[in-house]
A = this chain, B = another copy of it.
């Protein structure tokens, strides 16, 4: 006999948690499929060499890599973008554009003290091999927004920017100077810290990276000015971004005030080449998800350019936010009705079984209590602890009359009903 425990850094999802997770993935899936995105599944294990060196040095340390029994170096899925790139490389004949969604767990040996778990769900949607970037970008923005809308977030803001705007911003600030890609990314990483260290902190960092006070003043002036831009003015900075925003709002029906241009949004990953975006809930810090265009990433694996744009919904953060805003009902059980016994007359049990079957056939999730000898009190207590909303009580008298007691476990109300009346009122 040994006392078993959940592995540290991992979670079990007991029914109340598992049900809510299922409801949320169903909603997300539903939106993905409405837009004609097809499901894709890849195995949890990949050749280690498929994963290593793809995410950057820091991320490589978080990979679960081990040797299998055949001596092969293998690793657990770290995200869904690299497996997608492998799919694009391996199955060249997939019709393009390939619109796919993928909802599977990923594993990262992360520091659990930050409240992070080592297995978590990712919900990705991507377009691989599009031939018209602004339209594909607009659809992706629309799909992204529709996911949050479908979950019920009314005030969600899609913050957008592009790598081109960031380049324009730095180039205008350092007019005439030669800016290497490495330098550019270094500046972008400083701009990315706006929320964390504030304007002053960002300014100091940029000065330490070689900008003058004059540059900084000019830079923040531009940021403040551009922050107020609508798509017409954005056109002067990045025509494609402007077009995507216009289409997203005018044709894809995103409310104009749900898209917010933020010229310093930069997102950590180096591989973005165009549009970048995040979903932000006003009044909360951090994003509920994000994505962007990464036209050069798949190239690394395939040896030819395949444009791509997509996003990941941050499942755990989105779920937490949805719970806080009561957008997702707490459900302790999928069961709607417990069929229970008042006494153990010989006809009671068959009637209970028959009734359970009929309730199920009517589409009602019904648990039959499996021991007619138990006290009714204990059965009701069980229903209560499990969170079952209704109990149908059957005894000799009910068998004879064909009317069964239906007890509403929340209000305590109890009424005699026929089968049809039970079906109608549950």
Contact = CB atoms under 8 A, between A and B. Distances in A.
Interface string A111-143: 000000011000000010011100110010000
B14 A91 contact: yes
Contacts of A44: 44, 76, 105, 107, 119
A423 interface: no
Contact of A45 (B4, B49, B119, B131): B119
Contacts of A67: 66
Copies in the complex: 2
A22 B386 CA distance: 28
A135 B370 contact: yes
Interface stretch (A210-218, A299-307, A405-413): A299-307
A19 interface: yes
Query: Which of A39, A354, A386 has the most chain B CB within a 10 Å cutoff?
Result: A39
Interface string A372-414: 1110000000100110100000000000000000000000000
A365 interface: yes
Contacts of A47: 4-5, 7
22 contacts: A2-B49, A2-B50, A5-B47, A6-B43, A10-B45, A11-B43, A13-B39, A15-B39, A18-B39, A19-B38, A19-B39, A34-B360, A36-B368, A36-B388, A38-B333, A38-B334, A39-B334, A44-B119, A66-B66, A130-B371, A251-B350, A253-B357
Given A33-B334, A38-B335, A70-B109, 16 more contacts: A3-B89, A5-B47, A5-B90, A7-B47, A10-B43, A12-B87, A13-B39, A18-B41, A19-B38, A19-B39, A36-B335, A36-B338, A36-B368, A130-B370, A132-B370, A247-B353
